[in-house]
Amino acid sequence: MANRLLKFLLAVDGRPRRKASKMGKPPATLGDIAKSLGTSIGTVHRALHDHPGVSPATRARVLQMARNLGYRPNLAARYLSSKKTLRISVNTLQGTTSFWDEVRAGIREEAAGILLENVEVEFRTSPSLGEGEEEALEAAIAAKVDGIITFPSRPETLRPWIRRASRSHIPVVCVATDAPNSGRLGIVAIDTLASGAIAADLMGKFLGGRTGSVGITVFDMGITEHAEKYGAFESTLKSFYPHLELLKPIEDHDVEREAYRKCRKLFEERTDLAGMYVTTEASIPVLKAACDAKVLDRLTIITTDLFPDLVPYIRSGRVAATIYQRPRAQGQMALRLLHEFLAEGGRRSNQVSLAPHLVMRGNLDFFLSRQSQESASKNGQNGQEARRLVHDLA
Amino acid sequence: MANRLLKFLLAVDGRPRRKASKMGKPPATLGDIAKSLGTSIGTVHRALHDHPGVSPATRARVLQMARNLGYRPNLAARYLSSKKTLRISVNTLQGTTSFWDEVRAGIREEAAGILLENVEVEFRTSPSLGEGEEEALEAAIAAKVDGIITFPSRPETLRPWIRRASRSHIPVVCVATDAPNSGRLGIVAIDTLASGAIAADLMGKFLGGRTGSVGITVFDMGITEHAEKYGAFESTLKSFYPHLELLKPIEDHDVEREAYRKCRKLFEERTDLAGMYVTTEASIPVLKAACDAKVLDRLTIITTDLFPDLVPYIRSGRVAATIYQRPRAQGQMALRLLHEFLAEGGRRSNQVSLAPHLVMRGNLDFFLSRQSQESASKNGQNGQEARRLVHDLA
DNA sequence: TCCGGAACCGTAAACGTTAACGGAACTCAG
DNA sequence: CTGAGTTCCGTTAACGTTTACGGTTCCGGA
């Protein structure tokens, strides 16, 4: 072999850990703590878990010693011993597009991948925006689940419930929209600044040097995320493409008729309109309005997310690009976050910002094929779900 | 409460599993198999693991019964009992950009997140392309690691070694480039078609209606991935923007001087050049060549990946966009794939295609802040690694 | 003085798998 | 017929945590 040649060329580096695990002592156990304290395993266990039956003095000594020895629970032993299964409630929307279906698929997928297969997912799905969301959260708390993943469509109304869950030691992870100051454990969402900025950048480049105005639809400027996205779009447009004028945002509240009406009006009034950025789910009514106003082919349109009805518009080039919010990844990350916390206190950041994906004509098929894989299994699940009855939560 | 209103509005659907775990029997154990066979746990264990000391007849009976009862090993018990730690070897490049550093960071990060903390990662880093890669693989096999993650820069030369690893029951996962027909367990990479197609789509849109020619650099058309990426770029350009002429690819083999020389020549010869797509790591020499040929500001340039030297070009707009190959995510997925296989035979697809990210002026800071988080911890690690000696592998 | 009951703590049996040890049956050479 | 060697198999002690149960001590009230 030509290993001679490799002298000083190829570095083999073990991790620091390895050395530690080889020469260092093995990880401390409950027994170690008990022994070095002259007490028993039971007491140590009770102290570490704030169970009753331990005097404050010994509890303190145990905690201190645990820290000294660098105790970390052995999860394998824990799961083997108490075969409690984690129950987590997923409170999301039915939704008009496939967005939430895919979020749920991502959660399911991730739950199935948990090695210590002890995760049960219960879905509490609200039929439409704001309908029954509070009650669903209340039900989840009442059911004493171990964790909750939720979509706080109106953060203010859900905030007290999330706070109540936290007080009951039920961690809550928000998806897609944050509920600030609610005591929620974490949030996973698409980075709003990255979304708004890339949309603006693309809009500017797509329009070349053309001047004109650019419209934008949002859900509601009262929601932090939407305001941020608008802000990012605005500032990027202003600094890089100052010749484009950004119009006031159109709020559609995810109501199709509202979106159609307001956009139709805009399209007929602003004859200088060159581009449109649709940040909401309701892109189809916007497209319909543009079609009816006979401006569809004049406009450079950037939408949000990807669902069947949108596909023909992208393929034909009438929608220049769409900012894909990666619902699957959001679901996966949310469950991961929650599980890591429940498993070992969760060391990672509890604020996950995902980068959006850009879908255009060229790479459309790539994303569609990914979805079809998932919807295949999703439909299987839905088949079973459809057979279930609708319950009364009372 | 207003639960009355919610009758038939809010569906609560448990998973099928839940029912199974409630009314169904608990999962079968080794003891169950033994009991129903009138034999002992030891024999069952030996039979299931192909250990010696079991007659062919009983082995067959055990296997059959295990299948009947739907036996699945309890991983918690397994890890608790045999505290074997998984050793996996990561054979990658030193690299000229930060790409491989981030791949390794992703692997480390994912390894740290494994719940049953028993994963040790050994890095075998080749100083440059093709240098010592075979020897590193040989060393990993000789060291009897439990799994290998590798970058087969020249698939043909590495193929026999990967095959040898597979024969030794060491699973191999390839990153970034595939080694087909090598018996490798899996491959994680950025989807080449999606990359090439989105680059072409952006190029076409950025150039507006302008005519002209478009250049492209690749590493080597002999590598499947690069040929595919070129093909996707070509076909997308041809079908959507037929007024643009795609030039023959420039092969730079990741050699900076070669890239500079060939591109400089191109820039001076083709005065109709409108755009340039750099698919290789060596984008800086291309940009230098464009600058020296005084065509930098005339060209629409799309590059690949993101590293410090490239930042000013993006920020100033001289690089219109860059296709980010998500090294961190690639590393994470590679380790996950390997670990899932080692842990329980791996049920998922072993071909992971990631979507690339698009970085432009607008969202540049988002990606930079992500990298800085990671490089902070990376530098800490590197500090420790730097203190290690360089070994001779003989 | 004795009993009841807190409050605190030790003990030991699980959980399912692995791995080492020992024992039975059988073969075969001496 | 005895002893050694082989092949197959049963038994059992780990692994670290959880949990139920039992046992102290100590204090207040009868």
What is the DSSP secondary-structure string of B341-384? HHHH---S-SEEEEPPEEE-TTTHHHHHHHHHHHHHHHHHHHHH
Torsion of CA B109, B113, B117, B120, to 10 degrees: -20
Preferred mutation among A29, A363, A378 to probe B, highest tally of B CBs within 10 A: A363
- Whole-angstrom CA distances from A71 to A28, A49, A64, B327 are 5, 13, 10, 34
Q: The domain A192-325 is classified under which CATH number: 3.40.50.1980, 3.40.50.300, 3.40.50.2300, 3.30.70.100?
A: 3.40.50.2300
Domain boundaries defined on chain A: 27-72, 86-184+328-354+364-386, 192-325
Residue-wise pLDDT for A23-68, tens only, equals 456 789 999 999 999 999 999 999 999 999 899 999 999 999 999 9
Is any atom of nucleic acid chain D found less than 7 Å from the CB of residue A26? yes
For the structural domain made of A27-72, what CATH number should be given?
Answer: 1.10.260.40
* pLDDT, tens only, B292-305: 999 999 999 999 99
pLDDT band at B117; cut points 50, 70, 90: low
Long-range contacts of B322-326 (CB under 8 A, 24+ apart): B322/B358, B322/B359, B322/B360, B323/B195, B323/B198, B323/B199, B323/B356, B323/B357, B323/B358, B323/B359, B324/B356, B324/B357, B324/B358, B324/B359, B324/B367, B325/B99, B325/B176, B325/B190, B325/B195, B325/B356, B326/B190, B326/B354, B326/B356, B326/B357
> Given an 8 Å threshold on Cβ–Cβ distance, is A317 in contact with B240?
yes
Name the superfamily (CATH) of residues B86-190+328-355+367-386. Answer: Response regulator (3.40.50.2300)
Nearest CA in chain A to B342: A115
Q: What is the pLDDT of residues A246-279, one digit of tens each?
A: 999 999 998 999 999 999 999 999 999 999 999 9
Mean per-residue pLDDT, B380-393? 31
B192-326, what's its fold?
Answer: Rossmann fold (3.40.50)
Q: Is the pLDDT assigned to residue A77 strictly greater than 80?
A: yes
The answer to whether A209 CB sits below 7 Å from nucleic acid chain D is no
Could you please state the CATH topology (level 3) that the domain comprising A86-184+328-354+364-386 is classified under: Rossmann fold (3.40.50)
The partner residue sitting opposite B10, judged by closest CB among A18, A80, A393, is: A393
pLDDT of residue B374: 52
Nucleotide nearest A53, CA–C1', reads C8
Residue B394's pLDDT band (cuts 50, 70, 90): very low
Write the residue in A16, A191, A390 that is nearest to B8 by C-beta. A390
pLDDT of B12 higher than 70: no
What confidence score (pLDDT) does residue B238 get?
95
A353 and B CB contact within 8 Å: yes
pLDDT at B272 over 70: yes
Q: Which of residues 7-66 of B touch strand D (CB under 7 A)?
A: 38-43, 46, 52-55, 57-58
Residue in B closest to A76 by C-alpha: B76
CA distance A38 to chain B (A): 25
Contacts of B348 in chain A (CB under 8 A): 113
Q: How confident is the model at residue B216 (pLDDT cuts 50, 70, 90)?
A: very high
Site from A3, A4, A10, A388 to mutate, B interface, most B CB atoms within 10 angstroms: A10
pLDDT tier at B152, thresholds 50, 70, 90: very high
Quick one: pLDDT at residue A388?
28
pLDDT at res. A131: 84
Mean pLDDT of the region B152-162: 93
- Most confident region among B18-22, B142-146, B237-241 by mean pLDDT: B237-241
In total, chain A counts a number of residues equal to: 394
Model confidence at B373, in pLDDT bands (50, 70, 90)? low
Q: What tokens does A210 get?
A: 């053309």
| Residue written as token pair 């000391």 | B53
What superfamily would CATH give domain B22-72?
lambda repressor-like DNA-binding domains (1.10.260.40)
pTM of the model: 0.86
Across the range A107-115, mean pLDDT stands at: 86
Q: Within 10 A of B222 (CB to CB), how many other CB atoms are there? A: 12
Same fold? A86-184+328-354+364-386, A192-325: yes
* Interval A170-177 mean pLDDT: 95
